[in-house]
Amino acid sequence: MKVYLHMKKLLILISLICLSNIVSAADEPSPAALAGANGCLICHNASQKLVGPAFKSIAEKYQGQSDIQKTLVAKVRNGGAGSWGKIPMPAHPDVTEENLNKIIAWVLKGSPAN
């Protein structure tokens, strides 16, 4: 009987841990939502050039380049011009490092819907 109660408590604990992980993952905004919330979609689009290049074009240009994630995070944080034409990209110093990394990784994957 004691073993049964311990097993039952253990199963309940494991279930609660699993549920809390599911809820935490569901609360995390998607990279697309982060891009929207941080102003990326004002100038960029997944497949068409707006003010800035399409995310698809960015992914194609930098495909296979090592350390490009780090380079693009710095470029977005500090702003810049010349890589895609004369119109400069403004700096985005207020976006967290974590969110920048999520957005850039998503862009480099071609900004998939999921």
Report pLDDT digits (tens) over 68-82.
Answer: 999 999 999 999 998
Contact between 109 and 59 under an 8 Å Cβ cutoff? The reply is yes
Contact between 77 and 92 under an 8 Å Cβ cutoff? The reply is yes
Predicted TM-score of the model (pTM)? 0.75
Instruction: State the CATH number of the domain containing residue 59.
Output: 1.10.760.10
Segments forming the whole domain that contains residue 88: 29-108
State the pLDDT at residue 27. Answer: 82
Q: Note whether residue 77 is domain-resident.
A: yes
Q: Note whether residue 12 is domain-resident.
A: no
Q: What is the pLDDT of residues 4-42, one digit of tens each?
A: 555 555 455 565 565 555 544 568 999 999 999 999 999
State the pLDDT at residue 16. Answer: 54
Q: Note whether residue 74 is domain-resident.
A: yes
Instruction: Compute φ and ψ for 94, nearest 5 degrees.
Output: -90, -10
